[in-house]
Amino acid sequence: MANSDADARATGPRRPHGVADRAAHARLIRRRRAIAGTIVAVAIAALVVGTVMGADARSRRHPLPSGVGARAPLRHPALRKASLAVREADAIERTRLTVPIVRMAGAQHREIALTFDDGPGPYTPEIVRILTRTHTPATFFEVGEELRWFGAATAQILRLGDPIGDHTWSHPDMARLNGRAQRRELLRDAAAIGDEGAPFPLMYRPPFGRWDAATLRLLAESHMLMVLWSVDTGDWDRPGAGQIVARALAGSRPGAIILMHDAGGDRSQTVAALPRIIRDLRRRGYRLVTVPRLLLDNPAPRRQDIDSVRGEAG
Q: What are the tens digits of pLDDT across the range 42-96?
A: 444 444 334 333 434 333 333 433 333 333 444 566 667 779 999 999 999 999 9
pLDDT band at 17 (very low <50, low <70, confident <90, very high): very low
For residues 24 and 256, give the distance between their C-alpha atoms in angstroms, rounded to a whole number: 33
Mean pLDDT across the stretch 206-235? 97
pLDDT over 70 (residue 299):
yes
Total-model pTM:
0.78
Mean pLDDT across the stretch 18-39? 54
Instruction: For residue 261, indicate whether it is catalytic.
Output: yes
- Domain-by-domain residue ranges, the chain? 17-38+75-309
Find, among 216, 174, 168, the residue nearest to 188 by Cα. Answer: 168
What is the model's pLDDT at position 143?
98
Tell me, rounded to whole angstroms, the distance of Cα 125 from its chain centroid: 17
Mean pLDDT across the stretch 162-169? 98
For residues 156 and 138, give the distance between their C-alpha atoms in angstroms, rounded to a whole number: 13
Pairing of the two strands 287-289 and 257-261: unpaired
Options 166, 261, 262, 297, the catalytic residue: 261
pLDDT averaged over every residue in the chain: 83
For residues 175 and 188, give the distance between their C-alpha atoms in angstroms, rounded to a whole number: 17
The class that CATH gives domain 17-38+75-309 is alpha beta
Q: Are 208 and 1 in contact (CB under 8 A)?
A: yes
pLDDT over 70 (residue 126):
yes
What is the model's pLDDT at position 79?
64
DSSP-based three-state secondary structure for 168? coil
H and E: helices and strands count for the chain: 10, 9
Q: Are 143 and 174 in contact (CB under 8 A)?
A: no
Mean pLDDT across the stretch 170-198? 97
Options 117, 173, 189, 297, the catalytic residue: 117
What is the model's pLDDT at position 151?
95
Residue-wise pLDDT tens digits, 248-291: 999 999 999 999 999 999 999 999 999 999 999 999 999 999 99
What is the model's pLDDT at position 53?
39
pLDDT band at 309 (very low <50, low <70, confident <90, very high): confident
Q: In this structure, is the dihedral angle defined by the CA atoms of residues 30, 35, 37 and 38, taken in order, positive or negative?
A: positive
Q: Please report, as a single letter, which amino acid is at residue 255.
A: G
Q: How wide is the angle at C-alpha 29 spanned by C-alphas 27 and 31, nearest 5°?
A: 70
What is the model's pLDDT at position 29?
54
Find, among 192, 202, 178, the residue nearest to 145 by Cα. Answer: 192
What is the model's pLDDT at position 46?
43
For residues 193 and 180, give the distance between their C-alpha atoms in angstroms, rounded to a whole number: 20
Q: Are 108 and 254 in contact (CB under 8 A)?
A: yes
> What is the full DSSP assignment across 250-290?
HT--TT-EEEEESSSS--HHHHHHHHHHHHHHHHTTPEEE-
C-alpha dihedral (221, 222, 225, 231), degrees to nearest 10 = -110
What is the model's pLDDT at position 123?
98
Q: Are 154 and 101 in contact (CB under 8 A)?
A: no
Please indicate whether residue 160 or residue 78 has the higher confidence score (pLDDT): 160
**Burial class, 42, CB count within 10 angstroms (exposed 0-12 / middle 13-18 / buried 19+):** middle
Among 2-16, 151-165, 262-276, name the one with the lowest average pLDDT: 2-16
Instruction: For residue 171, indicate whether it is catalytic.
Output: no
Q: How wide is the angle at C-alpha 230 spanned by C-alphas 144 and 289, nearest 5°?
A: 70
Q: In this structure, is the dihedral angle defined by the CA atoms of residues 285, 291, 292 and 296, taken in order, positive or negative?
A: positive
Share of the chain above pLDDT 70, in %: 73
